[in-house]
Amino acid sequence: MKGYDSLLRNSFNWLKGIPAAPGLYIGKSYIYSKETIVIKDGTIDDVDEALAAFREALERSKKELDKIFSVAKEKMGEQRAAIFEAQLLILEDPDLVGVIEQRIVIEKREPESIVKEEFNKSMGMMFDADDPYMKERANDIEDIRNRIIRNLKKERWSSTIISGTIVVSEMLTPADTILFSRNDVKAYVTEHGGLTSHAAIIARSLNIPAVLGVPKILEMVETGTELIVDGFYGYIFIDPTKEQLEFFRDKIAHLDEVNEGLKELVDLPSVTLDGVEIEIQANVDVSGEVEKIATMGAKGIGLYRTEQLIEELGEFPDEDTQTRIYSDLSSRIYPEMVTIRAFDLGGDKTRLFHPSEKNPFLGLRGIRFLLDNKELFKQQVKAIMRSTLNRNIRFMLPMVSTVKEIRETKELIKECEAELQTSGHKYSDKFQLGIMIEVPSAVAIADQLAKEADFFSIGTNDLTQYVMAADRGNARVAGLAQAFQPAVLRMIKLTVDAGHAANIWVGMCGELAGNPLATAMLVGLGLDELSMSAPSIPAVKAAVREITGYDAQRLADQALQMASAEAVISLLQAHQ
């Protein structure tokens, strides 16, 4: 990264955000804003005409959503696209449509204002809920409401962009991210949102550079402004200078060459120059990603986030449905392994039967929720046992902070076994049971936990937020919430050492695992496995193949002695 520092020091035309999906792009911006709509109110003369206009607006909205649904299916697979199918169902809800039509007839008022009032009734309750999941659903309903109103106004729905541009917006919904990708969007930049938001995860799987949480970007940029987007380091250069353009054009040319070379890596083993093997696996968040894994050179799945299924299906999948999904996954990945993580519900993720919590991140999340809702948990455990007949499934518990949680899970597994015997289903109890290390208490007692678990996988996203006491989704504390903080690196080291002392393998599935800048250091820290989103795999594998175990260890030792995240990053950049 020689030259980058001086580029930053000698200019003021740049902003810094969170690097959310890797890649570089130079091009024109397109400001995407959801304009506020002015709602027509007042009485109408012709009720029939108003009813016809409302029905036509509904039809048009359905057509639009149908289109989004089919693009989503094509890009992300059937299951995840179900989010959009759920939106279609709201449009077809006979009760809602009936009430609106009735009110148009009786009150003789503008359909726009009646649509607004009816949708707002349900949204109001959701926005008021002290619950991020419900707030997200309210946003969905708001989207549908605006779509109908816009169609009543016969305005074009502007979710199309000028193709081949950089989309700059306040925030991005999963629907925006999908739709724009169809218009050949080159990069995403937003004012809000973080590394682990859905939009970021989708951008990474679609391989589109993204920088999120860039303060004041909308004040500085308009449609057509030339930008440089650096999804590796999170910088946005506005109206770049000749020097900046030259610097990044060189980098892009170099990157293209490297990417060409990376294609050859797919079938090569992930070993260091002196023969230490580092297993490289894929994180799967979106069903459509499973196909891509083999072509990116992954050895199986290191993290399958099952809570996504609830998002995709719109409901909690029962034991049979889960059995079907996990069995299918197991045979598609066979003979490689797939690590299925138990539902990580709560926090800012999906919340099922959760009480309202003042501090959801410190509340009933992950394994805590599951042990509090044993009947739900049992359905998942039984589905895992029924699906692991190929013996290639590992089961992993999120948010473990005590030994008791693993012991209780083992008791529950025994109960499930007895129930499966009674029900006569085929099952196996031969699967590894591992835990995520993502809470500081788990690091502190890693030696105890290692006696109960078959493996550890370090979740640096949460570990960082809990170690640094800095919300992973809050752009204001993004500087603290980064895994290069020496405090986090020391936690990783303690975990690996405790795991190895107890003869269990230690992997990592947080975002740090997919950052090629960190690869040499992570190898040096002793990680046995790294799991990341599929597009990051070639670059990380290339980094593994370029070092010796000895050099990696020396680098890790140096990093552990650094006093700041910036010093760690400089050290690693100098090594690249």
Contacting residues toward ligand PEP, per CB under 6 A:
196, 303, 305, 344, 438, 459-462, 509-510
C-alpha distances in Å from residue 363, one per residue of 344, 348, 350, 474? 12, 10, 13, 18
**For residues 319 and 462, which CB has a smaller minimum distance to Mg ion in the complex?**
462
Which single residue is written with the structure tokens 């349900």?
Answer: 122
| Residue 509: active-site member | yes
Instruction: Show contacts with Mg ion in window 389-448 (CB under 5 A).
Output: 438
196 touches, from Mg ion, ligand PEP, none (C-beta below 5 to 8 Å by class):
ligand PEP
Q: Which of 347, 459, 499, 538 binds Mg ion (CB under 5 A)?
A: 459
**For residues 24 and 518, which CB has a smaller minimum distance to Mg ion in the complex?**
518
Q: Cβ 303 to ligand PEP, closest distance in Å?
A: 6
Q: Cβ 507 to Mg ion, closest distance in Å?
A: 14
Q: Cβ 272 to Mg ion, closest distance in Å?
A: 28
Query: Candidates 59-67, 121-129, 172-180, 461-469 — which segment interacts with Mg ion by CB under 5 A?
Result: 461-469
CA end-to-end span of the chain: 8
**For residues 192 and 341, which CB has a smaller minimum distance to Mg ion in the complex?**
341
Task: Please name every residue paired with 305 in a beta bridge, in sequence order, or none if there are none.
Answer: 341
Q: Cβ 534 to ligand PEP, closest distance in Å?
A: 15
Which single residue is written with the structure tokens 């199918």?
Answer: 85
- Show the tokens assigned to 12: 């003021």
Q: In terms of C-beta density within 10 A (0-12 exposed, 13-18 middle, 19 or more buried), how is residue 454 classed?
A: middle
460 touches, from ligand PEP, Mg ion, none (C-beta below 5 to 8 Å by class):
ligand PEP
Nearest 5°: phi and psi at 393?
-110, 135
**For residues 119 and 369, which CB has a smaller minimum distance to ligand PEP in the complex?**
369
Amino acid at residue number 449:
L
CB 146 within 8 A of CB 37: yes
3-state secondary structure of 70: helix
**For residues 29 and 461, which CB has a smaller minimum distance to ligand PEP in the complex?**
461
C-alpha distances in Å from residue 123, one per residue of 115, 116, 517? 12, 10, 43
**For residues 177 and 461, which CB has a smaller minimum distance to ligand PEP in the complex?**
461
How far is 533 from 289, CA to CA, in rounded Å? 9
509 touches, from ligand PEP, Mg ion, none (C-beta below 5 to 8 Å by class):
ligand PEP
Q: Cβ 432 to ligand PEP, closest distance in Å?
A: 18
Count other Cβ atoms within 10 Å, centred on residue 8. Answer: 15
Q: Which of 192, 198, 354, 416 is catalytic?
A: 198
CB 1 within 8 A of CB 573: yes
> Could you say whether residue 462 binds Mg ion (CB under 5 A)?
yes
Q: How many residues form the binding site for Mg ion (CB under 5 A)?
A: 3
Q: How crowded is the C-beta side of 106, counted as CA atoms within 13 Å?
A: 7
| Residue 198: active-site member | yes
Count other Cβ atoms within 10 Å, centred on residue 566. Answer: 13
Q: Cβ 439 to Mg ion, closest distance in Å?
A: 9
- Catalytic machinery residues: 198, 509
Binding residues for Mg ion (CB under 5 A): 438, 459, 462
